């Protein structure tokens, strides 16, 4: 059997009882270590699970699938994934590869940022398409994600922005060499993501493009969701560009232009500087109430 097991978001104790029982029965256990991270290290996981873990980087998961799946027809093999197994398309692809080889696959689900984001008080069913914000590197400055945020906003939907992480990424120079050299690990912060959004908005304004979102729109910064050091803050997009929420992982939310009264009330306890919705929507909309 090939198992894909979600680890949740906090630390080694967030695994389900079912997941832990399976790990103890496996011949090999891989830890996927590039789409996300836990606040505890690999050593803490190994100690709690009582098993040695094989750390699987991007190359192994995406290009060495056969190595991971090897022997799964006659023994139990597991891939551990931070959050929920299907929070990233990479794991869906791996499940399909296994099934193509006649290997039975079982998935053990867990909490992910896609549902834990409700910790800020926004209602999950009022979220639109989730977007990823990549690092801008060496003149490569993609901004297509802004269109999706803008579309969600115009449809009165919230947007969850997943922020880029760089773990064991080869340097551009080393790609032409036989021996790979890796960049230091980097984890995008809500401040960096907000700065990129503000630059995109400035460029669009200068080119005459209409802007759905303004720099004084509120946004929500989240850090280390599910851990003991979880942090949530609410302020304007402009203010968020200077906010420090500490260590990774961070996520950013651009709320819809109109909030349900319960959403607005819940957000008040996270306000960073000012009253929620003092200038986010027209006066006629601020008192509006969405359906429950």
Peptide bond into 249 cis (omega under 30): yes
**Nearest CA among 49, 45, 5, 11 for reference residue 226:** 11
Are residues 212 and 200 in contact, defined by beta-carbon separation less than 8 angstroms? no
Place of tokens 């995109």: 200
Ligand-binding annotation for 112, yes or no, is: yes
- Classify residue 54 by burial, with Cβ atoms within 10 Å: 0-12, 13-18, 19+: middle
- Classify residue 123 by burial, with Cβ atoms within 10 Å: 0-12, 13-18, 19+: middle
Ligand-binding annotation for 105, yes or no, is: no
- Listed in sequence order, the residues at least 6 apart from 115 whose beta carbon sits closer than 8 Å to its beta carbon are 124
Q: How far apart are CA 46 and CA 59, in angstroms?
A: 22
Structure tokens at 128: 């639109």
Amino acid 271: pLDDT: 86
Q: What is the mean pLDDT of residues 214-240?
A: 94
Amino acid 108: pLDDT: 97
Q: How far apart are CA 179 and CA 255, in angstroms?
A: 45
Are residues 53 and 45 in contact, defined by beta-carbon separation less than 8 angstroms? yes
Are residues 105 and 99 in contact, defined by beta-carbon separation less than 8 angstroms? yes
Asked if pLDDT for residue 284 goes beyond 60, the answer is no
Ligand-binding annotation for 8, yes or no, is: no
pTM for this prediction = 0.86
**Nearest CA among 140, 247, 232, 236 for reference residue 194:** 236
**Nearest CA among 33, 3, 2 for reference residue 18:** 3
Are residues 32 and 7 in contact, defined by beta-carbon separation less than 8 angstroms? no
β-bridge mates for residue 229, sequence order: none
Residue 145 host element (H or E): helix 144-154
**Nearest CA among 263, 271, 201 for reference residue 233:** 271
DSSP letter at 71 equals T
The pLDDT tens digits of the residues spanning 69-89 come to: 888 888 999 999 999 998 877
Ligand-binding annotation for 250, yes or no, is: yes
Q: In which band, very low, low, confident or very high, does the pLDDT at 39 lie, cut at 50, 70 and 90?
A: confident
**Coil, helix or strand for 74?**
coil
Ligand-binding annotation for 272, yes or no, is: no
What domains sit in the chain, N to C, each tagged with a CATH number?
Answer: 2-111 (3.40.1010.10), 114-270 (3.30.950.10)
Q: How far apart are CA 70 and CA 48, in angstroms?
A: 26
Amino acid 211: pLDDT: 83
Ligand-binding annotation for 87, yes or no, is: yes
Amino acid 174: pLDDT: 63
């Amino acid at each position: 059997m090939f198992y894909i097991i979600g680890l949740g978001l906090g630390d080694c104790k967030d695994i389900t009882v079912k997941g832990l029982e399976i790990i103890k029965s496996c011949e090999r256990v891989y830890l996927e270590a590039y789409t996300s991270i836990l606040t505890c290290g690999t050593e803490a996981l190994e100690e709690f699970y009582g098993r040695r873990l094989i750390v699987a980087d991007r190359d192994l998961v995406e290009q060495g699938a056969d190595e991971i799946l090897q022997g799964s027809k006659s023994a139990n093999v597991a891939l551990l994934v931070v959050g929920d197994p299907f929070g990233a398309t990479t794991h869906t692809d791996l499940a399909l590869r296994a099934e193509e080889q006649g290997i039975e696959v079982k998935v053990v689900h867990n909490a992910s940022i896609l549902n834990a984001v409700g910790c800020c008080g926004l209602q999950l069913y009022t979220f639109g398409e989730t977007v990823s914000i990549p690092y801008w590197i060496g003149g490569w400055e993609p901004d297509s994600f802004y269109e999706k945020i803008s579309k969600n906003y115009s449809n009165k939907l919230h947007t969850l922005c997943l922020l880029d992480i760089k773990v064991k990424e080869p340097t551009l120079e080393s790609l032409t060499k036989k021996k790979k050299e890796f960049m230091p690990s980097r984890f995008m912060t809500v401040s960096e993501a907000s700065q990129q959004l503000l630059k995109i908005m400035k460029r669009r304004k200068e080119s005459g493009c209409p802007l759905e979102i303004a720099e004084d729109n509120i946004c929500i910064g989240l850090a280390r969701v599910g851990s003991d050091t979880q942090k949530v803050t609410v302020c304007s997009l402009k203010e968020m560009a200077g906010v420090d929420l500490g260590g990774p992982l961070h996520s950013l939310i651009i709320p819809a232009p109109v909030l349900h009264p319960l959403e607005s009330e819940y957000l008040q306890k996270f306000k960073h500087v000012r009253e929620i919705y003092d200038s986010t929507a027209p006066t006629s909309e601020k008192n509006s109430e969405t359906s429950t």
